[in-house]
Copies of this chain bind each other. A is one copy, B any other.
Amino acid sequence: MVTLAEVARHAGVSASTVSYVLSGKRSISAGTRERVERSIQELGYHPNAGARALASSKSNVIALMMPLRTDMYVPVMMEIAVAVATTARGHGYDVLLLTREEGPAAVRRVTGSGLADAMILMDVELDDDRLPLLREAPQPAVLIGLPADTAGLTCVDLDFVATGALCVEHLAGLGHRDIAVIGEAPAVYERHTGFAERTLEGLRAKARELDVRLLHRPCEVGYGPTATTLARIFDERPGTTGFVVQNESAVEPLLGLLRLRGRAVPEDVSVVAVCSDQVALQASVRLTSVSLPADEMGRRAVSRIVAKLEGRGADEVELLTPKLTVRASSGPAPD
């Protein structure tokens, strides 16, 4: 393996000079810089990550703590990860993949070992057990999601309360008085995952405000569970004409089931989904949806982390404003 010292010898300069050429922290004459750069090329030199981390106390790695369950939002999680990885690379950082399942131990490992310079955490629960550690960690962190207490934390998330409100508002505006919500899997609520509860909160508040009847039912992933949930909903509220689908994987089954029941979308029944634009456009009916800007959340999270690593930017909660796009799945309520 080629070392700094070899490059220095090859270029006829000292090691520190090579280091300064690389980091740009001191001015180097054009001639020397060129000579060094040529040597680096010729020898195929790559700085040793460990040595660099040791000497500079910076690893140039961002840790990403990701949930590895498969009971929810896999594509969204993936999309966030993609955005994080790509954006981070753009800023010169690599991404270390940690599992949400390791919990606080992983946080401790990172903060203790200097494995990473900063952390991005996904799948934040309202009262997340990683938060206390995070607050005292020397490394900055950004949450993608919103816990109950955000003091001393930086968060990026979609404003799910507004998202819920927006869905109800849209349907109510079209004259729907009976709205059903196909929610996340029960386990998601049991974990007190922030976004699920907040969406519900927004849905309920707006429903109360606009005097619309709202029925919320959690729903496991899969066609069967969706069918059961739908049947229950129609049993309980036969007059339901509006649906809000929070659970991406329930979208296609729901549309299929409505078709089977002879309920036309959007003539008889309107559907609003909270999902990525991709899903909304690929479904069998082009869905009216509030988009889940996974990509943007990932990018923002990295930007904030990088800002903090560079000493800019304070702790702050950034809630992205949801946007509802009207497509072919919603229309006026039948009379």
Contacts and interface: CB of A to CB of B under 8 A. Distances in A.
Interface string A160-183: 000000000000000000000000
B97 A64 contact: yes
A78 to B, nearest CB: 5
Nearest to A284: B223
B49 A51 contact: no
- Of A82, A222, A255, most buried by chain B (CB within 10 Å of CB) is A82
B89 A102 contact: yes
Contacts of A249: 282
Contacts of A98: 85, 94
Could you say which of A44, A45, A79, A114 has the most chain B C-beta atoms within 10 Å of its C-beta? Answer: A114
A78 B79 contact: no
Given A49-B59, A78-B78, A114-B48, A95 B94 contact: no
Contact of A85 (B44, B68, B108): B68
Interface in A77-102: 77-79, 81-82, 85-86, 89, 94-99, 101-102
A263 interface: no
A109 interface: yes
A68 B86 contact: yes
Interface string A248-262: 010011011001100
B68 A59 contact: no
A287 to B, nearest CB: 11
Interface of A is mostly: helix
Interface residues of A, number: 61
Give how many copies assemble into the complex. 2
A85 B112 contact: no
B50 A54 contact: yes
A229 to B, nearest CB: 14
A332 interface: no
Interface string A231-253: 00000000000000000010011
Contact of A256 (B1, B44, B221, B252): B252
A70 B79 contact: yes
A93 B84 CA distance: 21
Identify the interface centre among A77, A249, A256: most chain B CB within 10 Å of its CB: A256
Interface in A100-157: 101-102, 108-109, 111-115, 138
B70 A97 contact: no
Given A49-B50, A50-B54, 9 more contacts: A54-B54, A70-B78, A70-B79, A75-B75, A85-B97, A86-B99, A96-B97, A97-B97, A256-B259
Interface of A: 1-2, 44-54, 57, 59, 61, 64, 68, 70, 74-75, 77-79, 81-82, 85-86, 89, 94-99, 101-102, 108-109, 111-115, 138, 221-224, 249, 252-253, 255-256, 259-260, 278, 281-284
14 contacts: A46-B112, A48-B113, A50-B114, A51-B54, A61-B96, A68-B81, A68-B82, A68-B85, A85-B99, A95-B97, A223-B282, A223-B283, A223-B284, A249-B282
